[in-house]
Amino acid sequence: MRLHRNLVFAVIDSIRDIFNEGVYADKAVEQALRRDKRWGARDRKFVAETIYEIVRWKRLYAEIANVKAPYARPDLWRMFAVWCVLKGIQLPDWNQIEPTPTRRIKGKFDELSKIRKFREAIPDWIDEVGLQELGEKAWTKEIAALNKQADVILRTNTLNISKDKLQKILSSEGIETEFVKGHDDALKLVERANVFKTQAFKKGYFEVQDASSQLVAPYLDVRPGMKVVDTCAGAGGKTLHLASLMENKGQIIAMDIYESKLKKLKVRARRNGVHNIDTKVIDSTKVIKKLHGKVDRVLIDAPCSGLGVIRRNPDSKWKLEPEFLDRIRTTQQEVLQQYSKMVKTGGKLVYATCSVLPSENQQQVDFFLASDAGKDFSFVKDNKVLASESGFDGFYMALLERK
């Protein structure tokens, strides 16, 4: 591979913004790809994937390069040189690239690869939490799986098209896909591509949604005509899936504390041809109290550490802090206690997270069921999805029923 100066400079500038300025990786990549409209698909792929690679392996590369945060520009070039050596890419004769001891880099890599926190490039505290909660064998497998690049998975919008027809239409637009076993509406891209430019996307034939995430809405056991609340809807990936499963019939109330996210959901709903969604900003307890005992199904896609989805958000490893994990566990229980009151007798609730930690998952459900608010509920089933077993994101979902 021959390195092009303008592409590499875009990478260096982006990782500087991510590491030193706290810019989110997806935003940095988006900004980088706007630098030069003349870049082709291969150039754009190089820039995006190289940024994500260096972000994903930051701790390992920084240790090998012997540099520490905040990173000066020469430090970033040293990390880039480490990436090149480990990828087998010949280093160009540029002023920014210092003489690079290739043998020492490879030797250091072999040495550090024996230590999990360096091999998997994670902070000490995350390694300790994972080890404590999952055990040595399971955590070692899981964190290795969570460091692999995520596949691009589409969810067919069955309101508008069948999965078979969508596959054929995408193929006609030059995008090849495969079915995903055990996921009724999912298609996996054979090669990464910008699917948002396709006519199929513009016509609302699909949404991008990981296969594990696609398991959550069906777990709620919805039917057309029901009254359903998605309590932490965000931009509405699971809300739209619920609408599809309900055949656009009944009522879905999508709630969130952020109005900006619900505005994005409205845009997506229009594109999807969905018209049974009402949005409500949670700006007081009144929003919840008005629905006490009146809802057939409640989805609590709870705020969490996001440790199950670090494959697609590798910079979250460096932004996450132990204090946040403690706070979010408290929030999860508060949400369960309050939002569960909307479920009517005989109704059902799903508690879900995109975390692999038992303390955010089954332990939260157990604590809720043992509480006063949970005494009216019975546990039906749960699903612990590990990336190391599924090949997709780590997720958890539990189905509870009000007696």
Active site (catalytic) residues: 354
CA distance 133 to 120: 17
Greatest Cα pair distance, the chain, in angstroms, is 72
Q: Which amino acid, residue 222?
A: V
283 assigned ligand-binding residue: yes
Q: Strands 343-353 and 251-256, how do they pair?
A: unpaired
Asked whether the CA dihedral 214, 219, 220, 226 is positive or negative, the reply is positive
The length of the chain is: 403
Q: Which of 297, 299, 245, 301 is nearest to 272 (CA)?
A: 245
CA distance 287 to 283: 8
- Phi first, then psi, for residue 209 (nearest 5°) are -160, 125
Q: With 0-12 CB in 10 A as exposed, 13-18 as middle and 19+ as buried, what is 290?
A: exposed
Structure letter (DSSP) for residue 72: P
Q: With 0-12 CB in 10 A as exposed, 13-18 as middle and 19+ as buried, what is 384?
A: middle
93 assigned ligand-binding residue: no
Could you tell me which residues are annotated as the binding site?
A: 256, 283, 301
Could you tell me which residues are annotated as the binding site for S-adenosyl-L-methionine?
A: 256, 283, 301
